[in-house]
Copies of this chain bind each other. A is one copy, B any other.
Amino acid sequence: MNRKPNLKDVAELAGVSAITVSRVLTHPDKVAAKSRQKVEQAIAELGYIRNHAASALASNRSGVLAVIIPSLSNIVFNEVLQGIYSAVKPHQLQVILGDCHYSPLEEEKLIATLLSQAPEGLILTGTDQTDYARKLLQNAGIPVVQLMELTNNPIDINIGFSHFAAGKAMTEHLLARGYRRIGFLGARMDPRTQHRLAGFRKAIEDWNTANNAKNSGAEPSSARCEPYVVTTSQSSSIKLGGQLLQSVMAESAGQCDAVFCCNDDLALGALFAARQMNLRIPADLAIAGFNDLEASALVDPGITSVASPRFAMGQQAVELILQKASGAQTEFSPLDVGFSIMVRGST
């Protein structure tokens, strides 16, 4: 026999019926130890491997979890993925991963493709899905998680934190440290980066307002905080951080005394470049980042950054999907996992 063995072949060899073999594979406790042993031996002997497609078709359960991330190369999503994999492991689940390259349209296509696998659940990054994608997901009737950021209008389950609040908090930290000519270095400018930038602007606006009120008598302009915003649609890298630092220095005529980088890659690049420009950190220039990568804590000076529980978010996404899939009809309100500012030498 040259074709691959199937259930029936195993059943014949083991001297039982096909359905018993099937049960050994899916509900081993429903089968007497003796039969189970015979079946297991037959499986080993034939090198039998269950046909997942047939199983999924007959049982209407795919055992697949679909995940779409915006970028494989960004280590941030990698950590989320690790959380997802760690949570998936004890369950009989395969992960199908798609990379939508930060494009909602690609994401839409991917969703359509991945839904054809009839996944048990779907994990998306961010909250900017197209209308058609939302419709597809509604029709699919499976648990969907929007991860990383929060929205008032979730498709289903929503886990994340406010990038606006984080951006604002970090900027307030810089203001509190006395920096007044603060640059924002932004790359790729995906929605979350834009929220961080919005938080940055809000913090400065608020500060200027408050400051004007205080110094209502004096000339206000002298105490105003001046933001310098340099952004690019290029994707982020360490090298780019250095280039953007030069841009902001040029734009501010060297006045810039602090930069808030939209992520730690840029921040590291800015740090390396600042050293070459003979800027003392943080005396001449403060550097703040986002994501709290390992390197940020270990360079000298350490880079102040925003930490968030990425691994845990991934885990939680899987857990809530499984909860929901197993019938728990609890409503999940958006789950804010928060963030924290890791203050280090760079500010």
Contacts and interface: CB of A to CB of B under 8 A. Distances in A.
A96 B53 CA distance: 14
A282 to B, nearest CB: 18
B50 A116 contact: yes
A96 B56 CA distance: 16
A140 B49 CA distance: 9
A300 interface: yes
A81 B72 contact: yes
A85 interface: yes
A94 B96 contact: yes
A272 B300 contact: yes
A52 interface: yes
A263 to B, nearest CB: 14
Contacts of A57: 51, 53-54, 57
A322 interface: no
A268 interface: yes
Contacts of A298: 238-239, 242, 268-269, 272
A194 interface: no
Contacts of A294: 237-239
What's the interface size class on A, roughly? 35 or more
A139 interface: yes
Q: Is the interface of A mostly helix, strand, loop or mixed?
A: helix
A72 B79 CA distance: 8
Contacts of A255: none
A104 B186 CA distance: 42
Contacts of A50: 116
Contacts of A97: 95, 97
A262 interface: no
Given A51-B118, A53-B56, A73-B79, 8 more contacts: A52-B117, A52-B118, A53-B117, A54-B57, A57-B57, A72-B81, A94-B117, A272-B298
Interface string A237-279: 1110010000000000000000000000000110010011000
A114 B95 CA distance: 11
A112 interface: yes
Contacts of A51: 57, 116, 118
Closest 3 CB pairs of A and B: A53-B56, A53-B57, A52-B116
A95 B299 CA distance: 36
B96 A95 contact: yes
A113 B95 CA distance: 12
5 contacts: A47-B139, A49-B140, A52-B53, A238-B295, A272-B300
